[in-house]
Amino acid sequence: MEEKKTEVRRSQSFVERLSFNVVVGFTDEGTFVLEFLKPDLSLYAEEETGKIIGHGGRLVSDVRIYLPAKTAKRMLSALEKSIEEYEKKFGEIKVEIPGGEE
């Protein structure tokens, strides 16, 4: 039996981002907040030669997502299942968790 496929179309306002940093928090109203950060980098060069003499940077907020508690819990479950499948296929993801165990 052939499986039916449904194309999921993106709206014109669809935004796609690549993020390396995220901050997670919650409000007293039961909403979880995911704040995705991106680097804002600067290079400093000599005016005459253009030779790079320094750099600087910071993390700035790029995207903020608000999730009701039940949605956050479903998202966590989906991520746990996806990570488990990924690690079975590619091996354990090793990550240092600030203030916690590896």
Decide if 17 contacts 36 (C-beta within 8 A): yes
User: Is residue 63 one of the residues assigned to a domain?
Assistant: yes
Plot region of 30 (φ>0 → left; ψ -120 to 50 → alpha; else → beta): left
> What pLDDT was estimated at residue 101?
56
User: Is residue 15 one of the residues assigned to a domain?
Assistant: no
| Nearest partner of 36 among 50, 51, 25, judged by Cα | 25
Range of the domain at 74: 21-90
> What pLDDT was estimated at residue 3?
77
> What pLDDT was estimated at residue 15?
80
User: Is residue 1 one of the residues assigned to a domain?
Assistant: no
> What pLDDT was estimated at residue 52?
87
Q: What is the DSSP string of 52-97?
A: EEEEEEEEEEEEEEEEEHHHHHHHHHHHHHHHHHHHHHH-------
User: Is residue 74 one of the residues assigned to a domain?
Assistant: yes
Q: What is the mean pLDDT of each run of 10 residues along the chain (102 residues)?
A: 78 82 92 92 87 88 93 96 97 84 53
> What pLDDT was estimated at residue 99?
72
User: Is residue 45 one of the residues assigned to a domain?
Assistant: yes
User: Is residue 60 one of the residues assigned to a domain?
Assistant: yes
Decide if 31 contacts 68 (C-beta within 8 A): yes
User: Is residue 56 one of the residues assigned to a domain?
Assistant: yes
Question: Do the strands 52-68 and 31-45 form a parallel or antiparallel pair, or are they unpaired?
Answer: antiparallel
Please count the structural domains in the chain. Answer: 1
User: Is residue 41 one of the residues assigned to a domain?
Assistant: yes
